[in-house]
Amino acid sequence: MKWLYFLPLMVLTLMINPSDASANPTNTACASALSHTFLRLQDEVPQNLCQYQGKVIMVVNTASFCGFTSQYEGLEKIYARYKDKGFVILGFPSNDFGQQEPGSNKEIAEFCKNTYDVKFPMFAKSSVSGKDANPLFKMLISKTGTTPKWNFYKYLIDRNGNIIESYNSLTKPDSKSMTSEIEKLLKGKS
């Protein structure tokens, strides 16, 4: 009879905490590449990357005082062009190369907003290479065999969470080769 006292509590718990099927409309587990939580750059609120499951993702390491910093323009351009089609860019500021990202998270966020009006998701400054690389970059490096050698390395992840390709700093984000690959992935071809 004691279970009768717990029955309403169990029902209430299920109502407040719905099953995984309703929380995840595609009813798929989060891809291992996205099974990480990082602090959002502007307010340091934790963000689980699983929220981007089902999207084509470009991961890029950034820096505010680099010869490639102007690539923020191209990144923002392709983000605006493809975001409504299921594309997202995840930016990770890093001070790993040439000490070109010395500022605090707040300073980096202000620079990105005021200089390039960056709207794509940016995360707190972290390491992207070597033994201290953040867990996402460790996985990207492991799967592609390519470690960032400088700022603005780019990695593409398909809608299923498969790490597809890496691109060096010289590849402009809005180049024909890059946009062709993004469009192919958006159509579900890898």
Per-domain boundaries in the chain:
28-186
pLDDT at 28: 64
Coil, helix or strand for 59?
Answer: strand
pLDDT at residue 190, as a whole number: 65
Asked whether the beta carbons of 32 and 161 are under 8 A apart, the reply is yes
Amino acid letter, 19? S
Mean pLDDT in runs of 10 for the chain (190 residues)? 41 37 52 95 96 98 98 98 98 98 97 98 98 97 96 97 96 96 90
Question: Which strand (E) or helix (H) includes residue 6?
Answer: helix 2-16
Q: What is the DSSP code (8-state) at residue 66?
A: S
Catalytic annotation, residues: 66
User: Under CATH, which number does the domain 28-186 receive?
Assistant: 3.40.30.10
Token pair recorded at residue 44: 């340091």
Q: How many residues are given for the chain?
A: 190
pLDDT at res. 188: 87
